[in-house]
């Protein structure tokens, strides 16, 4: 499915014969870096667009990832079928990596406990049911049916932020930083992948004790699609209030902070619009400097006293 390289381009040079499936280590060192970059770019496309693309889309994204790698290293290098296969075979690696990094978080975030005591195993089973009922795992607080306390904090569970940090924002060299455009703001498909992997990890506790389950496309693609649909529906119905937009921006900003990366530059879209600024100018011209936000001298003195008291209390 890969076209022949242009006549003025050369193919990556191998330094050893591949044993079975080709690997980056089979190529000269400069090409290893290019291959690793292309794979990381491809991973980021999967996370930010769709984790289970068809073969045609996989090949298309792999080619684009290779071209981005060539731009990054300022080289003109062709690809062949072997290179494309090397990149696309990493599709399942991403989902496996996400699950592996979420697995240890599930116990701490949701409160599962390993135990031989039947009371705790029963509690684990009940917790699985609550988390899987109507996207319960996406809530910060599951509420309490007995006291009629509703669930709250949709899409604000600690798992979302901790998962993003662990998978894509471990440090300044991680994919969330290197490929920042894919993760700014934090994409809905990536959130859906975190929730789907979390659901797989939760399923492992269905019998009261954790039993490993393979996070396969056949078993969890439908679940992944449901999470995407749920997130998109929420985004559409709350668009006027920008709730999910703010959650996504906070995820990216907090993840970058975790990775010790520089904050993103504020784009014009993050600022007041030209119209809003013109309205503010008109209001100022009409009312002078006596707007509702002005502070009187008495209020200013009061604020200073309050500040001094707080400083004194903290000493």
Determine the Cα–Cα distance for residues 248 and 48; give it in Å rounded to an integer: 12
24 vs 295: which has the higher pLDDT: 24
Whether the pLDDT of residue 16 is over 50: the answer is yes
The confidence band for 285, taking pLDDT boundaries of 50, 70 and 90, is low
Q: What is the pLDDT of residue 303?
A: 45
Whole-number average pLDDT of the chain: 85
Q: How far is CA 299 from CA 133, 296, 307, in A?
A: 52, 5, 12
- Tell me the pLDDT band of 2, cut-offs 50, 70 and 90: very low
What average pLDDT score do residues 272-300 get? 59
Rounded to whole angstroms, the Cα distance separating 65 from 117 reads 51
Give the Cα-Cα-Cα angle 137, 140, 142 (nearest 5 degrees): 65
Q: Of the segments 54-63, 75-84, 87-96, which one has the largest average pLDDT value?
A: 54-63
Report the DSSP beta bridge partners of residue 149.
144
State whether the Cα torsion 283-286-287-289 is positive or negative: positive
Of the listed ranges 140-154, 189-203, 228-242, the least confidently predicted one is: 140-154
- Per-residue pLDDT for 248 more than 80? yes
Provide the pLDDT confidence category of residue 145 given band limits of 50, 70 and 90.
confident
pLDDT above 80 (res 169): yes
Coil, strand or helix at 92: helix
**β-strand 139-141 against 152-154: which pairing, if any?**
antiparallel
**The pLDDT of residue 15:** 55
Q: What is the reported pTM?
A: 0.79
């Amino acid at each position: 499915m890969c076209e022949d390289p242009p006549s003025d381009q050369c193919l990556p040079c191998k330094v050893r014969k591949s044993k079975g499936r080709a690997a980056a280590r089979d190529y000269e060192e400069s090409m290893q870096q290019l291959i690793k970059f292309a794979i990381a770019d491809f991973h980021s496309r999967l996370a930010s667009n769709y984790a289970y693309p068809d073969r045609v889309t996989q090949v298309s994204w792999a080619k684009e990832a290779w071209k981005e790698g060539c731009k990054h290293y300022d080289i003109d290098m062709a690809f062949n079928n072997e290179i494309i296969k090397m990149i696309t075979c990493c599709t399942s690696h991403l989902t496996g990596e996400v699950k592996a990094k979420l697995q240890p978080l599930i116990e701490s975030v949701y409160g599962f406990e390993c135990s031989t005591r039947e009371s705790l195993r029963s509690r684990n089973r009940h917790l699985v049911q609550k988390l899987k009922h109507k996207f319960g795992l996406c809530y910060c607080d599951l509420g309490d049916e007995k006291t009629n306390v509703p669930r709250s904090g949709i899409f604000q569970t600690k798992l979302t932020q901790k998962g993003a940090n662990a998978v894509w924002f471990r440090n300044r060299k991680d994919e969330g930083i290197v490929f920042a455009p894919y993760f700014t703001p934090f994409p809905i498909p990536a959130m859906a992948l975190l929730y789907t992997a979390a659901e797989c990890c939760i399923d492992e506790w269905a019998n009261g004790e954790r039993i490993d389950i393979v996070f396969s496309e056949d078993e969890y693609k439908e679940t992944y699609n449901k999470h995407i649909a749920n997130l998109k529906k929420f985004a559409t119905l709350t668009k006027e209030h920008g709730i999910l937009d703010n959650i996504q921006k906070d995820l990216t900003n907090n993840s970058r902070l975790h990775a010790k990366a520089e904050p993103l530059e504020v784009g014009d879209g993050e600022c007041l619009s030209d119209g809003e600024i013109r309205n503010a100018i008109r209001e100022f011209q009409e009312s002078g400097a006596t707007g509702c936000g002005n502070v009187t001298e008495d209020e200013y003195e009061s604020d200073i006293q309050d500040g001094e008291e707080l400083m004194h209390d903290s000493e």
